[in-house]
């Protein structure tokens, strides 16, 4: 059984219509103010930021997006005999699961945009329900249980990753025989360090990204081709090597 870990970043979802953040046409480059909408301190202290954030979620592509060829290729590898696949994703879009990856095999390092959490009582509920309230006229819906501030169940700038999730991810990186970093700038720590941890523990490291990353020098292979075609090809090659 070959242990394959796939660290996926925003670049894997651009073919699904979800803009990345740091690429040449990324959201942060086009609109630096947009980062405030997902910064915890701004969100908690400024009602206008919260209203704009809810509007962004309502108008944004994430909840309407469909998995693309790269997501499906990962799920297909998981179903192939002889592979133990784990996905460590920096994305919050849930597209790996929609493509068929079992929930238990996907570790969402930065949380999920498909749920909301109360910052007061920590009650969790669906994003779809919260957005229905926005459509109905609540521009900053409060927690129905305690009246606290609701936020997306994602890790905002200024928040720490869940240490349990990070610890599990590190364990997977250490155990991986093949580690693919796909569509990630590998600039956001501590998630980016998983590539280095895998390489240090003997994994074959493959970086698939349009732009150079800080971990390219550690990689056994660097692929600059479009992810939608490059990743399916790469994963088929993995399967062929195992059969061969």
- Tokens 């292979």 appear where? 221
pLDDT at 26: 52
213/192 Cα distance (integer angstroms): 10
Cβ-proximal residues to 94 (8 Å cutoff; 6+ apart), any chain:
108, 112, 113, 114
Per-residue pLDDT of 140-178, as tens digits, reads 999 999 999 999 999 999 999 999 999 999 999 999 999
In the chain, % of residues over pLDDT 90: 85
Q: Which residues are bridge partners to 108 per DSSP?
A: 89
Say whether domain 30-60+112-154 belongs to CATH 3.40.50.720: no
* Residue 94 to residue 66: CA distance in whole angstroms: 10
CB under 8 Å, gap of 24 or more: what pairs does 50-54 form? 50/140, 50/149, 51/139, 51/140, 53/152, 54/130, 54/131, 54/134, 54/139, 54/140, 54/141
* One-character DSSP codes across 128-197: HHHHHHHHTT-SSPBPTTT--BEEEEE--BT-PPPHHHHHHHHHHHHH-SEEEEES--S-STTTTHHHHH
The fold for domain 1-18+67-110+160-244 equals Rossmann fold (3.40.50)
Among residues 96, 110, 122, 201, which one is catalytic?
110
Q: What rounded mean pLDDT belongs to the chain?
A: 93
Confidence bin at 207 (pLDDT 50/70/90): very high
Do the domains at 1-18+67-110+160-244 and 30-60+112-154 have one common CATH topology? no
Of the chain, the end-to-end C-alpha distance in Å amounts to: 15
In tens, the pLDDT along 104-147 reads: 999 999 999 999 999 999 999 999 999 999 999 999 999 999 99
Confidence at residue 155, expressed as pLDDT on a 0 to 100 scale: 95
Instruction: Identify whether 110 is a catalytic site residue.
Output: yes
- What pTM did the predictor assign? 0.91
Angle, helices 193-200/163-175, rounded to nearest 10 degrees: 40
pLDDT over 70 (residue 221): yes
Q: Given this model, what pLDDT does residue 60 score?
A: 86
More confident residue, 95 or 20: 95
Q: Is 221 exposed, middle or buried (0-12, 13-18, 19+ CB in 10 A)?
A: exposed
How many CB atoms lie under 10 A from the CB of residue 51?
Answer: 15
Q: Which residues contact 104 (CB under 8 A, 6 or more apart)?
A: none
Residue corresponding to tokens 């990630």 = 184
List pLDDT tens digits, range 60-102.
889 899 999 999 999 999 999 999 999 999 999 999 999 999 9
Instruction: Say what the pLDDT of residue 19 is.
Output: 79
Burial of 94 (0-12, 13-18, 19+ CB in 10 A): buried
Provide the pLDDT confidence category of residue 241 given band limits of 50, 70 and 90.
Answer: confident
49, pLDDT greater than 80? yes
- Domain boundaries of the chain, sorted by first residue: 1-18+67-110+160-244, 30-60+112-154
């Amino acid at each position: 059984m070959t242990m394959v870990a796939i660290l996926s970043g925003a670049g894997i979802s651009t073919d699904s219509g979800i803009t990345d953040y740091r690429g040449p046409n990324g959201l942060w480059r086009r609109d630096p103010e947009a980062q405030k909408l997902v910064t915890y301190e701004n969100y908690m202290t400024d009602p206008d930021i919260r209203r704009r954030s809810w509007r962004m979620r309502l108008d944004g592509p994430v909840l309407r997006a469909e998995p693309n060829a790269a997501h499906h290729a990962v799920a297909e590898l998981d179903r192939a005999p002889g592979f133990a696949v784990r996905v460590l994703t920096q994305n919050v879009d849930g597209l790996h699961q929609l493509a068929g990856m079992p929930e238990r095999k996907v570790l969402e390092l930065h949380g999920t945009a498909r749920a909301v959490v109360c910052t007061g009582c920590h009650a969790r509920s669906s994003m779809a329900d919260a957005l229905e309230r926005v459509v109905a006229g609540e521009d900053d819906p409060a927690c129905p249980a305690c009246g606290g501030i609701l936020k997306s169940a994602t890790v905002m700038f200024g928040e720490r990753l869940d240490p349990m999730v990070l610890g599990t991810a590190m364990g997977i990186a250490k155990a991986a025989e093949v580690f693919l970093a796909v569509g990630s700038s590998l600039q956001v720590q501590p998630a980016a360090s998983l590539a280095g941890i895998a390489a240090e523990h003997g994994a074959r490291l493959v970086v698939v990204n349009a732009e150079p990353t800080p971990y390219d020098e550690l990689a056994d292979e660097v692929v600059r081709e479009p992810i939608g075609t490059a990743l399916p090809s790469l994963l088929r090659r993995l399967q062929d090597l195992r059969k061969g």
